Structure formats: C-alpha cells, structure tokens
Amino acid sequence: MTTFVPPPPYSPQELKSLYPESLELHLVQLIFRHGERTPVGARFQETGLAPLWPYCNSVARFKAAVVENTGEWSELAFKRRTETVGDKGQAVVSGAGTGTEDSICSFGELTDLGRQTTLALGQRARNLYINQLGFLPPSPGPQSSHYLRATPVPRALESLQQVYTGLYPTSTQGPTPEIPIIYQRTFSQENLFPNEANCRRFLMLTREFASLAAQKWNDSPEMQHIQSRIGKWVEGGVKVDGKPRLSGIMDTVNATLAHGPATKLPGEFYEPEVLAAMDKINVDEWYRGYSQSSEYRLLGVGSLLGDIVDRMGSSAKEDVEKEGRLKVSLMGCHDTTLAGLLASLGAFDNKWPPFTSSIAFEMFRKKEISQGRGLWARLMGSGRAKDENYYVRLRYNEVPVVVKGCKKPGNHLEGDESFCTLTAFKEIVAKMRPKDWQKECLMNMDKKGIPPVEEVE
C-alpha cells in the first residue's frame, strides 16, 4: 500500500469506546510521515517514465523574504522553473510547450496530492480533537499550547505546514493571528529520523543488517519471482544490494502508484505478488534491527522516544487548568521514523508505512483526579497528579496499537492493554534511551557483525 486511505470519522459508539469516560485527554503528540512525493531519483526512463513530474503547482506560488531599498522587509513572489540539459548540451526548460512548465517537481518533492493528504490529516485531527472531543480550542491558543517541529527535509516541513493548516485553517486564526513557531534542528543533531549519516555506529549496524538481508533474500523464491517479472528493466538483476537497490525500486513504484496515469511503469511492477514480495524484503532489511537489537533501538529512535516522554512528564506536572499549557505537538518526519518507533515498541505490523501515515501518542489523566478542584485545591497544588494517574495510548493510522511491554499485568488500564500506564511507558523508553547519543554513536566501533539478539521486551 502506497497511499493511506483513512477510515470514516469515528461514530459516537466508537468514540465512546476509544475515549472512556473514566479518562480525560491531557496531551496529544502527532508524528507523521510526509505526504506523497516524487521519487528521490530518476529511474526506469527506458520504460517511458519521465524523470521530472508535473504535480507541483506550489512552484508557481513561492514567496521569499527580501530587504527593500528602504531597509524594510518585504516579500518577493516568484515562480520556479526547472532547467535540464539537452542531448547537445543546450538548456531545456522542463515542460516547455506542454503547459506544465510551472508545475514541475524536483526529486523527492511534496506533490499536490501530498499536500492534499497532509491537509486532510490535519482536518481529521480538527474533527476529532476539536469537534468531537472538545479537547483543543477551535482557534489556535498561545504559542506555549502547541509545539511544531519538522526535519530539515523540505517535504517534511511542507507536510507539517499543511497539517497545521488543516487543524487550524486561516479562517479560524482571527484578524491578527499569532505567527506559529516551527522548530528545526541541524542534520547533525536531528532525531526525527534514524540518523545514520551522523551516527557512525548506527551506520555500521544498518550496513550489517543490509548485508544480512542481501544474504537472506537475493537467492530466495520471492526475489526470483520479482526478477522474473521486472528483471528485464533492471540492469544486473534485481537484488537487495543491487543498482538500483530493491528499496530504490520500491520507492519509484510507490511514487508512481500514488500519482496519475502519465507517470506509470509497466503493469508487471504493480502485480500483487511483486508488490508484496518487495515490501516484505525491504521491511526486513530496514527494520529487522529494531526488533532484535537493543543498541539499534537506542541509536535509531531512542532519543526521539526520550523527547516524547519528556513532554509527557512535563505536561503531567502542570495544572490541568493552567492557561496556555502544552496540549498538542505536531512533528513532520519520515517512513523510517514511524516504522522504527513502532518496531522498537513491539507494535509494528511489518508493513512499510504509507505516505501520510501517523502515530498519535495520546496521554490521558484519570478523570476523578481532574474533577472537583476549586480555588483552594489549585492553590495547594492538587491540580497536579502522580504518574500512576496517567495513561499513554498510541493510535497508528487511526487504529489503537498495543505496546508490547504494556501487556504485562499492572502496566495497563484494567481491561484494555492499549492504555499503558505512564510509569510503565517511561520504564520501557528508559531502556532504549541514550544517555549521550553523540558519544554512544562512537562506541563499539570495533564490534563487527550482527549484535546478539535482544528482542523487544
């Protein structure tokens, strides 16, 4: 599956079951994969697939911050057109003469469809958390009430902007809206995706697991079937570690699947058995490490999980009635982020996350703790509650999932394993949280091969 098809909005009966009357929603952290995009590189041109696609009408609507002669700040509206080099070395404007020159995407760029699906994710969040549950205000609150962050990759930032627009459309922001703050980190410190480029030990581990996948799958019946169907378009044969890699082939296939008929590959690429085999093999290559190596989990997503838990802990210490307290966090990320998080928590379905997939980390508070507080109670600090009065629940693509460690007796709400106690969730994350990620990225560099198996507890 390449594009996530959301289910209908929750019915009143479903809502009552998903959000028990005994619990009160306290904090939502929504982390999501960017929307549909173009392939990250040009592949399979010999099949007639165009290298550059006309699905980005945003490129005709760009604005840049500029300084005028007066010293005042202004905006420069401009269109971006893409130049390529012709067979004789001449400059060629992509799409010229076809009417598409003002909608040409670059590689890996969020498309019009990707903007629509991320906007729809924000709209679903608005319907759930504002219209149905009344948890968030209908208009944006102060900056302290929300946290917005994206990776330095443009498609993640643009997806975040679309999700926020769906949650709080321009019409809800008033005549003088407060400009939202979006946080970003440098690539060297980014933890919204598994950062092998800036973690030498994690890079070593990813290569070991990639090599293991190549040994396991290159001569398998599944790979032989893929080769028999699409091998004629892959020079050197289809392999996990081929050129292109099997994951690169699937990237292009998924991007074409999501978009229009003008950018399609031959039908063999879309045969169900071919798609299923590619997904199975690539998931094993990219995510097996999380399920069987504690070091892989720690270096891959442990830091991000630590940030998520820190926000929960800080929120639990705040008075529920505090004006402007943090209520919602939106984080624009990638497929590897979501799969890494789910696999590390023992909640992964072993399917590659589709475009615009999301995980909602919801923290709840026992309702009886929240009720009956007057002025005296707030003055005495009883508006705060201990960790054992809070619960954490994950919804992946609108469906609750169960964290493996939360299944143990005493670690969840009675009768529902998907509601993990905050205490238990903190303990689960603590086992994979690095003390100093940058230092630990340089440890164990003398250890070759696959680490000893340490499955998710």
Cite the active site residues. Answer: 34, 335
Cross-strand partners of 339: none
Cross-strand partners of 183: 149
Q: Residue 346: phi, psi to the nearest 5?
A: 70, 30
Nearest to 419 by CA among 397, 401, 431, 432: 401
Q: What interhelical angle do 272-292 and 335-344 show, nearest 10? A: 60
Other C-beta atoms lying within 10 Å of the C-beta of residue 413: 18
Q: Residue 153: phi, psi to the nearest 5?
A: -80, 125
Torsion of CA 120, 186, 294, 439, to 10 degrees: -170
For residues 187 and 202, what is the distance between their CA atoms, to the nearest angstrom? 15
For residues 242 and 170, what is the distance between their CA atoms, to the nearest angstrom? 47
For residues 105 and 112, what is the distance between their CA atoms, to the nearest angstrom? 10
For residues 428 and 405, what is the distance between their CA atoms, to the nearest angstrom? 7
Convert 30-44 to b/e letters by CB count within 10 Å (16 or more is b).
Answer: bbbbbbbbbbeeebb
Q: What interhelical angle do 112-126 and 154-167 show, nearest 10? A: 40
Nearest to 348 by CA among 356, 362, 337: 337
Nearest to 129 by CA among 10, 35, 21, 7: 10
- The answer to whether 355 and 114 have CB atoms below 8 angstroms apart is yes
Q: Tokens 């926020």 appear where?
A: 164
Helix extents (H) in 318-366:
335-344
- The answer to whether 332 and 357 have CB atoms below 8 angstroms apart is no
For residues 270 and 229, what is the distance between their CA atoms, to the nearest angstrom? 10
